[in-house]
Structure 1
């Protein structure tokens, strides 16, 4: 498929651009903690499926009631494909990986996303090579992630095999997310809310039968979920899925890939701060150093996005 023109050339409003970017920075940084809360006592794939089916139904219904045109058959197919990649595969892998590694480590492994995103965009999707400044920012950001996950941060994560399984699942999820992100502007998608709603509905529907086969649940197990899991799920529905994912979907179509990739450096910092205040995780001086370096990487990537 022929490459589309650069999103920068389309000139999305700066206020809208940064509002959506900050939304993804903060809200998605908080999702790791709430995914942990949601799946403490409930099977992960089942809860993720419920989350996205509820979110998608709300978004789709809202869009239709407010006059958004119905999606065409091709738009349904395209949005459904993106939903399978971004939500069923990528977030399915994340939810499974979180059963083996701490949520903070999973967030930190999100630093792999810019590597996949920029490399695939450069090599496989026929886009322009990132600027030298953006590449330098990528390297600096990865160094920051390295300091955040140096060996002393990995102590207490369980056996080596379990950690490798979890880390591999999360890494593959990031790879799938990069593919879905780069495909989004290259396929025919309906308008924002309808597109996000379809992606969530299809992603949730794909995960549900997999969960029913793999996990000890029934279709109505949601009614047996504890209050903490239900509350966390609704937080993820509203702030993680409806607001956060809609912001990401907008950015995937409007923002340059190297600017979009910066959230992978900011989310771990947000996740670790929330883990410190709400889950009793230790926020060491090493973590502060890594967070600072990662944020410098964000600045360099942002400055080099053109």
Structure 2
């Protein structure tokens, strides 16, 4: 959710390193299931907006109370744009997409983010040609996506059209997330915690405005939410947005990019297992083959980065 700084020159404590990795592996992998629980009986965009407004308020307030200087107007604008790309569009699409396809499939499609980063950095932002290994990974990843979302094979919740809608939303969300990720280092952002808080506040507020226009809610609908939705939302606020992100931000400063990127391989596995155990999700053999092929593609892309 922010520009990644260069890794620290000192070697981090191995216990701290693996604790942070485990946090990102498990907590971020579990967010797909809890998004599903949060939106079972509540409008998805509305619940996502409340999640980010609450988390953003906590992060922004913490940053200011601990002495972080106030962001300038230019920094607010830049962080707001990144927040809209990452949270309003990308996570908004994910939250709605999970209403149509299993959470494990959604996580696997989300794990294909390196495909979009590689392609956009090649054709637009960086004008940097990928290595041959990364290109091979791109092709393999696209083949995996085809088998994963092939309409006559994927077991979704509402038939062929629902599968395509869900996959299309998450794919578009990946595209927006990739743009936001590549844009972040090129704009003026405030320091880490306050930048994340601003991104969540702006992204959540825009998402709330959209929700009020298209969903049957009012700003106070959260008072009518069932206990399961409220509990899931606070899980996502604390463990997904605050602890999970803090672990990710620490890893971005202290771990190699290759090690950090392994979360893209582990999160889908965690999401698939949790979805099968707690949400009764079923995957066809074709979808599982597609999942394996897609993950191989992501691994090749990661290994092939310059």
* Alignment TM class, shorter chain as reference: 0.7 to 0.9
Specify the alignment match of 2:203 in structure 1. Answer: 203
Residue 287 of structure 1: how far off its partner (Å): 6.6
Q: Describe the shift of the 1:67–1:84 C-alpha distance in structure 2 as closer, same or farther (beyond 3 A).
A: same
Specify the alignment match of 2:68 in structure 1. Answer: 68
CA distance in 2 between partners of 1:123 and 1:162 (Å): 31
Higher mean displacement: 89-98 or 286-295: 286-295
Higher mean displacement: 142-151 or 21-30: 142-151
Specify the alignment match of 2:84 in structure 1. Answer: 84
Q: Give the conservation status (yes or no) of the 8 Å contact 1:114–1:258.
A: no
Deviations 1:122-152 (A, max 9, x none): 2211253333333344445555556655667
- Residue 39 (str. 1) matches residue 43 (str. 2): no
Specify the alignment match of 2:236 in structure 1. Answer: 236
Q: Give the conservation status (yes or no) of the 8 Å contact 1:269–1:291.
A: no
CA distance in 1 between partners of 2:218 and 2:273 (Å): 36
Higher mean displacement: 228-237 or 155-164: 155-164
Residue 200 of structure 1: how far off its partner (Å): 0.4
TM-score, normalised with respect to structure 1: 0.83
Q: Describe the shift of the 1:129–1:171 C-alpha distance in structure 2 as closer, same or farther (beyond 3 A).
A: same
Q: Give the conservation status (yes or no) of the 8 Å contact 2:261–2:302.
A: no
Question: Does the residue aligned with 2:197 lie in a helix, a strand or coil?
Answer: helix
Higher mean displacement: 200-209 or 105-114: 105-114
Specify the alignment match of 2:128 in structure 1. Answer: 128
Where structure 1 has 5 or more consecutive residues not aligned to the other structure, the ranges are none
- Residue 221 (str. 1) matches residue 221 (str. 2): yes
Q: How many residues align?
A: 300
CA distance in 2 between partners of 1:253 and 1:122 (Å): 25
CA distance in 2 between partners of 1:17 and 1:120 (Å): 30
Residue 24 of structure 1: how far off its partner (Å): 3.5
CA distance in 1 between partners of 2:285 and 2:168 (Å): 27
CA distance in 2 between partners of 1:261 and 1:124 (Å): 22
Residue 241 of structure 1: how far off its partner (Å): 1.0
Q: Give the conservation status (yes or no) of the 8 Å contact 2:154–2:287.
A: no
Q: Describe the shift of the 1:100–1:292 C-alpha distance in structure 2 as closer, same or farther (beyond 3 A).
A: closer
Residue 217 of structure 1: how far off its partner (Å): 1.1
CA distance in 2 between partners of 1:140 and 1:68 (Å): 44
Residue 255 of structure 1: how far off its partner (Å): 8.2
Where structure 2 has 5 or more consecutive residues not aligned to the other structure, the ranges are none
CA distance in 1 between partners of 2:222 and 2:8 (Å): 40
Specify the alignment match of 2:273 in structure 1. Answer: 273
CA distance in 2 between partners of 1:283 and 1:162 (Å): 15
Q: Give the conservation status (yes or no) of the 8 Å contact 1:55–1:200.
A: yes
Residue 159 of structure 1: how far off its partner (Å): 3.1
Q: Give the conservation status (yes or no) of the 8 Å contact 2:211–2:217.
A: yes
Mapping of residues 7-18 of structure 1, within 5 Å: 10-12=6-8, 15=12
Cα RMSD (Å) of the superposition? 3.2
Specify the alignment match of 1:30 in structure 2. Answer: 30
Higher mean displacement: 288-297 or 178-187: 288-297
Higher mean displacement: 116-125 or 263-272: 263-272
Question: Does the residue aligned with 1:90 lie in a helix, a strand or coil?
Answer: helix
Specify the alignment match of 1:183 in structure 2. Answer: 183
Residue 95 of structure 1: how far off its partner (Å): 1.6
Deviations 1:156-201 (A, max 9, x none): 4323223222221111111000100111111111111111111101
Q: Give the conservation status (yes or no) of the 8 Å contact 1:51–1:237.
A: yes
Specify the alignment match of 1:174 in structure 2. Answer: 174
Residue 57 of structure 1: how far off its partner (Å): 0.6
TM-score, normalised with respect to structure 2: 0.83
